[in-house]
Amino acid sequence: MTENRKHSRVDSIYLLNYVHLDENDNAIMQGMGRTMNVSESGIMLETHVSLGKNETIDVVLGLQEEMLTIRGKVIFSRAAKYDMYQSGIQFLDIDDSSFHFLKLYIKAFHKKSAKE
């Protein structure tokens, strides 16, 4: 199978907060999710609720004492085991500072998976 991703993904399982936004950027739902993998361009998020394609969400990532909110668009969503849903989220318009934080977040996953 040919890989079409722009950036390689790192498997990860971390809890995070997300905020589902309406078309006017108003928060309409907030929840907890679990990252399944992450890359410089997006994240696979597992949640208890289905997220619709093209919906906008803010994903809140945490690394040590730092937290970062990254806006993303749902590219796909599918049912998973145990009444869960997995959604592919493409990050949107990341500034340089946020991109640097994201790279540190991904690097932390590399270190964790190397230990396992």
* pLDDT tens digit sequence for 97-108: 888 888 888 887
Encoded amino acid at 37, one letter: N
* pLDDT tens digit sequence for 73-83: 999 999 998 99
Q: Residue 4 — φ and ψ, nearest 5°?
A: -105, 5
Listed in sequence order, the DSSP H helices in the chain are: 96-115
Q: Are 54 and 47 in contact (CB under 8 A)?
A: no
Q: Residues 6 or more apart from 11 whose CB is under 8 A from it?
A: 36, 37, 109, 113
Highest average pLDDT, of 19-28, 55-64, 92-101, comes from: 19-28
Instruction: Give the class (CATH, top level) of 10-107.
Output: mainly beta
Q: Specify which residues 27 forms β-bridges with.
A: 21
Q: What is d(CA 45, CA 91) in angstroms, rounded to the nearest whole number?
A: 12
